[in-house]
């Protein structure tokens, strides 16, 4: 059944371009509840012509928006933050309805998403330049940062609110209008944000939502090849990121990509085992494993391996998968059949190579088409798919290691480098791992680290650029150096 919203208008019916709601289209696409496959609603399936309109509108808006003061933009962001917090329950219900994650996780996402508007409301007035003393004593040099221009934002389904806010908040703080293409499976969370911009009568054209299911490649190409879009920010798969990078080459626009992950958790013998277990579970099964920073490989040192496996499995056995709106459950459903297929493929491959089942898990058709109980496998080895590929689902693969050199090599022996985790009471282990792990983020003795104040991003094929923190605004600005010469010497 449809959740009851305190503010029903948050479930918007169309795209949002230049301050106008667009409901007409040659065709429409349906959005389904992944828990039941019931239709939530229909939205316009927009094409290349619609993205052209959005680009022109945003480009026109930039001519005046870039001249607004940082304090003006700060107030816009603060007002959006306040509206999100006032409507947190409704926004969370929309996430659970279209994404399937548990309502408690959805509430957490909305608070996390809103925090980026709060953070960048505070950062907007702090876009500083520098003064430089050049070698020529008659010259003076200073730098200034200015908004890069219209930004294209392409986001995935797993965090349908937060993936937008941590990009859009930084862009708007810098003075850049945004054109957002959300995933067609979870568009309503994006449209709810547009509702707030519309309600506050913020400048038209600075926040635009384009919707599409059938024309996604064409829209992405238009964004990349447009000379009026000066930056693309994308969160999604590495393969799509590479395509967007190639397509953007003709305009040499700025890019920031947060791509795939394959996060290792490394637990040393001296770690607080209970802490390591609880935090490993929090990392591995957040969103039922459907996050880019979820633990994909659990490397446990041999001295505590058996004890860890047993206690970890016992805790996971307490999970109760069910409809995300059922507060008696701990986890919701997966997003679609493809997600289930990948989990099953990784389990089948691991079992064929000697993995041992500690918790069988598996599909539960009695709950619905996309429900999958967590699986725990021990005795995993480096020749298995799960060691090289991101599962993105509720499979915990546990490996044994003895030497720190081995676990560093195994952890780094993948194409990706987004998040990693280390558990140890020995500061030497912490420093050695932090300095040698090839990851953009290393979380020590905690499994949940994301926060608007930290720079979020990866290395290697997990992308480049950072979101959040004081660094997150840099990619939405250009740096100018101004030289004043021939100043008289007195």
For position 282, what pLDDT does the model report?
Answer: 97
| Mean pLDDT in residue range 76-102 | 98
For position 397, what pLDDT does the model report?
Answer: 98
Q: Which residues are CB-neighbours of 331 under 8 A, at least 6 positions away?
A: 102, 285, 288, 319, 320, 321, 322, 374, 394
Of the pLDDT bands very low, low, confident and very high (cuts 50, 70, 90), residue 18 is very high
Of the pLDDT bands very low, low, confident and very high (cuts 50, 70, 90), residue 106 is very high
Phi-psi region of 479 (alpha: psi -120 to 50; beta: other; left: phi over 0): beta
- The vertex-195 CA angle with 194 and 200, nearest 5°, equals 100
Res 451 pLDDT > 90: yes
pLDDT tens, residue by residue, 123-178:
999 999 999 999 999 999 999 999 999 999 999 999 999 999 999 999 999 999 99
What is residue 141's three-state secondary structure?
strand
Res 483 pLDDT > 90: yes
Whole-angstrom distance, CA of residue 338 vs CA of residue 202: 39
DSSP per residue, 19-57: TEEE---S-EEEEE-TTT--EEEEEE---HHHHHHHHHH
| Mean pLDDT in residue range 197-221 | 97
User: Average pLDDT of the chain?
Assistant: 97
- The vertex-138 CA angle with 137 and 143, nearest 5°, equals 90
Q: Which residues are CB-neighbours of 439 under 8 A, at least 6 positions away?
A: 263, 417, 418, 419, 420, 458, 459, 462
**CA neighbor of 93 nearest in space, from 175, 181, 8, 213:** 8
Phi-psi region of 445 (alpha: psi -120 to 50; beta: other; left: phi over 0): left
DSSP per residue, 207-256: EEE---SS-HHHHHHHHHH-SSEEEEEEES-HHHHHHHHHHHTTTT-EEE
b/e per residue 83-118 (b: at least 16 CB within 10 A)? bbeebbebbbbbbbbbbbbbbbbbbbbbebbbbbbb
Lateral strand order in the sheet of 395-401: 356-359, 375-380, 395-401, 295-301, 263-267, 419-423, 441-444
b/e per residue 362-387 (b: at least 16 CB within 10 A)? beeeebbbbbbbbbbbbbbeeebbbb
For position 1, what pLDDT does the model report?
Answer: 72
Q: H/E element holding 297?
A: strand 295-301
Whole-angstrom distance, CA of residue 261 vs CA of residue 343: 15
For position 466, what pLDDT does the model report?
Answer: 97
For position 440, what pLDDT does the model report?
Answer: 98
Whole-angstrom distance, CA of residue 383 vs CA of residue 296: 15
pLDDT tens, residue by residue, 301-331:
999 999 999 999 999 999 999 999 999 999 9
Enter the pTM of the model: 0.96
For position 2, what pLDDT does the model report?
Answer: 87
b/e per residue 272-290 (b: at least 16 CB within 10 A)? ebeebbebbbebbbbbbbb
Whole-angstrom distance, CA of residue 167 vs CA of residue 187: 16
pLDDT tens, residue by residue, 259-282:
999 999 999 999 999 999 999 999
**CA neighbor of 206 nearest in space, from 182, 241, 171:** 171
Residue 70 near residue 54, CB atoms below 8 Å? no
Q: How far is CA 206 from CA 20, 57, 189, 202, 355, in A?
A: 12, 8, 18, 8, 52
| Mean pLDDT in residue range 83-90 | 98
Q: Is the dihedral of CA 244, 246, 250, 256 positive or negative?
A: positive
Dihedral, CA atoms, 333, 339, 342, 347, nearest 10 degrees? Answer: 0
Q: How far is CA 243 from CA 137, 158, 246, 247, 418, in A?
A: 48, 21, 5, 6, 19
DSSP per residue, 252-274: T-EEEEE----EEEEE-TTS-HH
| Mean pLDDT in residue range 453-469 | 97
| Mean pLDDT in residue range 194-202 | 97
Question: What domains sit in the chain, N to C, each tagged with a CATH number?
Answer: 8-259+464-479 (3.40.605.10), 263-452 (3.40.309.10)
Dihedral, CA atoms, 164, 169, 172, 178, nearest 10 degrees? Answer: 0
Q: How far is CA 440 from CA 75, 258, 289, 418, 454, in A?
A: 32, 11, 20, 5, 11
Which positions are catalytic? 258
| Mean pLDDT in residue range 408-434 | 98
Q: How far is CA 4 from CA 1, 7, 262, in A?
A: 9, 9, 37
Whole-angstrom distance, CA of residue 241 vs CA of residue 236: 7
Directed axis angle between helix 188-199 and helix 162-174, to 10°? 40
């Amino acid at each position: 059944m449809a959740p009851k919203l305190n503010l029903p208008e948050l479930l918007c019916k169309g795209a949002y371009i230049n301050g106008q709601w667009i409901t007409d289209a040659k065709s429409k696409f349906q959005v389904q509840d992944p828990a039941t496959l019931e239709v939530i609603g229909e939205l316009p399936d927009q094409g290349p012509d619609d993205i052209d309109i959005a680009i022109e509108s945003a480009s026109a808006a930039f001519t005046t928006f870039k001249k607004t003061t940082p304090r003006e933009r700060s107030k816009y962001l603060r007002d959006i933050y306040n509206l999100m917090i006032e409507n947190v329950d409704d926004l969370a219900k929309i996430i659970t309805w279209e994404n399937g994650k548990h309502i408690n996780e959805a509430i957490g996402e909305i608070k996390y998403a809103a925090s980026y508007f709060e953070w960048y409301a505070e950062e907007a007035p702090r876009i500083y330049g520098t003064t430089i003393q050049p070698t020529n004593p008659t010259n003076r040099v200073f730098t200034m940062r200015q908004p890069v221009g219209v930004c294209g934002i392409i986001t995935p389904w797993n965090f349908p609110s937060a993936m937008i806010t941590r990009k859009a908040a930084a862009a708007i703080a810098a003075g850049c209008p945004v054109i957002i293409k959300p995933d067609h499976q979870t568009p309503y969370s994006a449209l709810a944000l547009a509702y707030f911009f519309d309600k506050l009568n913020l400048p038209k054209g600075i926040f635009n939502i384009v919707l599409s299911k059938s024309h996604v490649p064409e829209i992405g190409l238009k964004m990349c090849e447009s000379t009026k879009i000066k930056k693309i920010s994308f969160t999604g798969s590495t393969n799509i990121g590479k395509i967007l990078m190639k397509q953007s080459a003709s305009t040499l626009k700025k890019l920031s990509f947060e791509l795939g992950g394959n996060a290792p958790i490394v637990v040393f013998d001296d770690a607080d085992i209970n802490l390591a277990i609880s935090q490993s579970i929090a990392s591995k099964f957040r969103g039922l494993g459907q996050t880019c920073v979820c633990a994909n490989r659990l490397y446990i040192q041999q001295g505590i391996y058996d004890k860890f496996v047993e206690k970890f499995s016992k805790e996971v056995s307490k999970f109760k998968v069910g409809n995300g709106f059922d507060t008696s459950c701990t986890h919701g459903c997966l997003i679609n059949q493809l997600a289930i297929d990948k989990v099953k493929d990784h389990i089948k491959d691991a079992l064929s190579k000697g993995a041992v089942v500690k918790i069988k898990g598996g599909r539960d058709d009695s709950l619905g088409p996309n429900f999958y109980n967590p699986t725990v496998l021990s005795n995993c080895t480096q020749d298995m798919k799960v060691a090289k590929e991101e599962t993105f689902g509720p499979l915990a693969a546990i490996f044994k290691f003895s030497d720190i050199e081995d676990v560093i090599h195994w952890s780094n022996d993948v194409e990706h480098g987004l998040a990693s985790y280390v558990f140890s009471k020995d500061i030497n282990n912490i420093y050695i791992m932090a300095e040698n792990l090839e990851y953009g983020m290393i979380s020590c003795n905690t499994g949940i680290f994301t926060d608007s104040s930290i720079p979020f991003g990866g290395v290697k094929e997990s992308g480049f650029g950072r979101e959040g923190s004081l660094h997150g605004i840099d990619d939405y600005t250009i740096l100018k150096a101004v030289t004043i010469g021939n100043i008289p010497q007195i």
